[in-house]
């Protein structure tokens, strides 16, 4: 991912107009984005993404990251509720590229039909 260009106006273009009451430099006052979020790449249905963008556009203060975080948290909450308990912590780093089959299942016994 490309790093955004540095602005010639600095981090806060209004800093020259409004005096800050904090004595700490701006870099120490703000928490870096990487310290509070993790960027992941997902593929979305174009219609769902367009609806999400419309929702963000028409909802003051909402960002696509906030919407995605809220939706993912609600989906996991629903799965845990249906299951009756939280999912256990993974042992080690899991690859999220392919679904993990439950132990003791045989892919040959799948009831899904292949065409």
pLDDT at res. 73 = 96
Q: How large is the angle between the packed helices 64-83 and 46-58, nearest 10 degrees?
A: 120
pLDDT at res. 30 = 54
Tokens representing 65?
């990251």
Tokens representing 26?
């701006």
What are the tens digits of pLDDT across the range 36-86? Answer: 788 889 999 999 999 999 999 999 999 999 999 999 999 999 999 999 999
24: pLDDT strictly greater than 80: no
Among residues 38, 32, 34, which one has the least CA distance to residue 72? 38
Biggest distance spanned by C-alpha atoms of the chain: 69
């Amino acid at each position: 991912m490309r790093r955004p260009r540095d602005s010639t106006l600095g981090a806060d273009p209004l800093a020259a107009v409004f005096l800050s009451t904090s004595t700490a430099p701006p870099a120490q006052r703000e928490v870096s984005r990487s310290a509070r979020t993790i960027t992941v790449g997902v593929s979305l249905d174009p219609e769902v993404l367009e609806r999400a963008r419309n929702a963000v556009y028409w909802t003051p203060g909402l960002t696509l990251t906030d919407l995605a975080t809220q939706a993912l948290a609600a989906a996991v909450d629903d799965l845990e509720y249906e299951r009756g308990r939280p999912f256990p912590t993974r042992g080690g780093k899991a690859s999220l590229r392919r679904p993990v089959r439950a132990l003791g299942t045989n892919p040959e016994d799948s009831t899904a039909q292949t065409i």
